Structure 1
């Protein structure tokens, strides 16, 4: 079997194991991407989660000797939640972004990529492969764009004609010289809805994101959230989908066929108050299998506190006071103090004044003063 025949066999096999799209690209350096990434670094727009070495991010041959091709894959995920519970007064709920519905996509895609690598090895025992998903050195989006999976849109997502931008991406670098696919034409046109509705103005221009302002990034940080963003995250406790949900190219794309990514409503849209005092063991038991758990419970709990302040949920005041008085983590105590002031009750005022007398952490004291200032205004 020659390479072209095997390429067709590989495509058929990929579809048989649940891969929705597969494409092929050359392993040439991503020179234009390197320039863009350097500019992102210079502007301070990167999140800090990325590989810092730009050569590794843009030169596949540094990651695999004798690299000839890159195989790109895409697996679709749902855009709608079946039987989504509705929050109400006294039972407020947070929301995980769609990328955290169902089983952690890293696990699912790594399984699919491993099967592809095994299939390749059976064809050629001398084949070399290296796969990666999200946390690898290469840019998944740049690879997918080159391989014709979709186009890189203004919202910095890859949009596919079949599934919209609701896809997970992964790739395999290999020494097999596959025939490359043709990149797609950009179909965003004059549309700029994603830029106009971004809650924090993180989308600077089409295709350029200041990750430091992106809610998807901010919800994953572990420190006190900067003041300007606290009222903008709403009830998001992990991630943000706004720039995808407004995209016309995503209209009517439901993608319900991948069972691993079907949302459990009580996990994807959980009650907020029970999150506040959840132990590490309880958190791992309930949320450990979803991608949104990777940073641990602290960011989720901090975001849950901010969500309760967003709703001005007075029933949460006793729980927030308990955190203010007893939690060992300054970030949680400080966020609770700020939220107590935002919600604005007499019980909260008394608790903040009491805490002011005994708190010793400078950042927490600052948050207590902010909370009391809200109450003065109210």
Structure 2
């Protein structure tokens, strides 16, 4: 078989199914990545969401027998909303990060990878293929970097010359000996704007991130967010784009190429107070199709409380006091006590004292006492 011709056919076909960039690399182990991951683990810089087996993350042959090459794909997403909503007094809004504005990108990329698999199988029926998006074992960014999709920026994102870092990534391991593409040269140079822009100092060095300090990670946790980070979160409900918006390469990059990743403003930038009272069913009906909903409503509601404190929204005090007194979740009560203190601790003293009399959770008691003192 002429694999060079097949590769070109795959490239041409990819353009017809909504893949904006495609690259090829070998299925050889990612040895440099392996060493970096071991170091990340030693430093406790991992998020805990990633595949725990480093060998699986760095050796494609462990994931599919006969692996010879990997196809990396990128799909561009917008950096600006077409119809932006405005946050104003009494109607404060939170924000989901750009990667979560439209339909869950896992679905978006899997659909394209499935079509690509069908195309290749029609050409080579005996082929073996394994596709994955984000939740797979392989590190998407490492594959994309080696396949020439873009270079790995100091913000730990893949930066493409065409679309900046506003791209979703996915990959497919194949049993076909496709010729690998050439990786791009690092173009960050001496620029450190992303590192300087990180609100929590999570970017400890170019290309190295402490996930435990990353706002994107913190917004997805289910525990109470440490106080040192709460003021940094602002009105972010899910994710963080600070290191992307600070990147000079991303300046002016805004592509609206795929309808399914366009933002619905009322979902991407929802009103905060109505979020607080959503049931699980209501949350799933409204937000279930976006990637930012994968952890359920609890983190989003906790983040909404933090956002209301960020705005010092007096109109939210009744809702926050109700959470403090009646919400069964200690994390929500603790966060609400902190938020009340930020907004109007002095005039809410009676409500705080009343809640304290009935409170049994030590963390919540500590937070209320801190506000009262």
Compute the displacement of 1:371 (Å).
2.3
Q: Identify the residue that residue 282 of structure 1 maps to in structure 2.
A: 282
The separation in 1 between residues aligned to 2:90 and 2:58, in whole angstroms, is: 50
Compute the displacement of 1:240 (Å).
0.2
Please tell me whether the aligned partners of residues 148 and 182 of structure 2 are also in contact (alpha carbons under 8 angstroms): yes
Secondary structure at 1:298 match in 2: helix
Compute the displacement of 1:83 (Å).
1.9
The separation in 2 between residues aligned to 1:333 and 1:311, in whole angstroms, is: 19
Task: State the TM-score, normalized to the length of structure 2.
Answer: 0.99
Q: Identify the residue that residue 171 of structure 2 maps to in structure 1.
A: 171
Compute the displacement of 1:62 (Å).
0.2
Counterparts of 1:38-187 in structure 2, within 5 Å, are: 38-187=38-187
| Cα deviations by residue, 1:13-61 (Å, 9 ceiling, x for unpaired) | 1110000000000001000110000000000000000111111000000
Please tell me whether the aligned partners of residues 25 and 143 of structure 1 are also in contact (alpha carbons under 8 angstroms): yes
Counterparts of 1:14-25 in structure 2, within 5 Å, are: 14-25=14-25
Unaligned runs of 5+ in 2: none
| Cα deviations by residue, 1:307-330 (Å, 9 ceiling, x for unpaired) | 101111011000001111111111
Secondary structure at 2:232 match in 1: coil
Q: Identify the residue that residue 344 of structure 2 maps to in structure 1.
A: 344
Counterparts of 1:255-274 in structure 2, within 5 Å, are: 255-274=255-274
Is structure 2 residue 220 aligned with structure 1 residue 249? no
The separation in 2 between residues aligned to 1:229 and 1:346, in whole angstroms, is: 23
The separation in 2 between residues aligned to 1:45 and 1:250, in whole angstroms, is: 26
How many residue pairs get aligned? The number is: 373
Compute the displacement of 1:347 (Å).
4.6
The separation in 2 between residues aligned to 1:54 and 1:337, in whole angstroms, is: 40
Compute the displacement of 1:84 (Å).
1.0
The separation in 1 between residues aligned to 2:193 and 2:33, in whole angstroms, is: 24
Compute the displacement of 1:345 (Å).
4.9
Compute the displacement of 1:370 (Å).
2.3
Aligned-residue Cα RMSD (Å) equals 0.8
The separation in 1 between residues aligned to 2:15 and 2:101, in whole angstroms, is: 22
Compute the displacement of 1:372 (Å).
1.8
Q: Identify the residue that residue 328 of structure 1 maps to in structure 2.
A: 328
Secondary structure at 2:177 match in 1: coil
Please tell me whether the aligned partners of residues 314 and 345 of structure 1 are also in contact (alpha carbons under 8 angstroms): no
The separation in 2 between residues aligned to 1:297 and 1:68, in whole angstroms, is: 41
The separation in 1 between residues aligned to 2:221 and 2:369, in whole angstroms, is: 23
| Cα deviations by residue, 1:233-263 (Å, 9 ceiling, x for unpaired) | 0000100000000100001110111111110
Task: State the TM-score, normalized to the length of structure 1.
Answer: 0.98
The separation in 2 between residues aligned to 1:353 and 1:42, in whole angstroms, is: 44
Q: Identify the residue that residue 292 of structure 1 maps to in structure 2.
A: 292
The separation in 2 between residues aligned to 1:152 and 1:83, in whole angstroms, is: 32
Please tell me whether the aligned partners of residues 339 and 371 of structure 1 are also in contact (alpha carbons under 8 angstroms): no
| Cα deviations by residue, 1:244-301 (Å, 9 ceiling, x for unpaired) | 0010000111011111111000000000000011111110011000000000000000
The separation in 2 between residues aligned to 1:167 and 1:348, in whole angstroms, is: 45
Please tell me whether the aligned partners of residues 22 and 74 of structure 2 are also in contact (alpha carbons under 8 angstroms): yes
The separation in 2 between residues aligned to 1:257 and 1:34, in whole angstroms, is: 35
Secondary structure at 1:195 match in 2: helix
Q: Identify the residue that residue 196 of structure 2 maps to in structure 1.
A: 196
The separation in 1 between residues aligned to 2:100 and 2:370, in whole angstroms, is: 33
| Cα deviations by residue, 1:187-218 (Å, 9 ceiling, x for unpaired) | 00110000011000000000000000000000
Unaligned runs of 5+ in 1: 374-378
Please tell me whether the aligned partners of residues 151 and 184 of structure 2 are also in contact (alpha carbons under 8 angstroms): yes
The separation in 2 between residues aligned to 1:171 and 1:345, in whole angstroms, is: 51
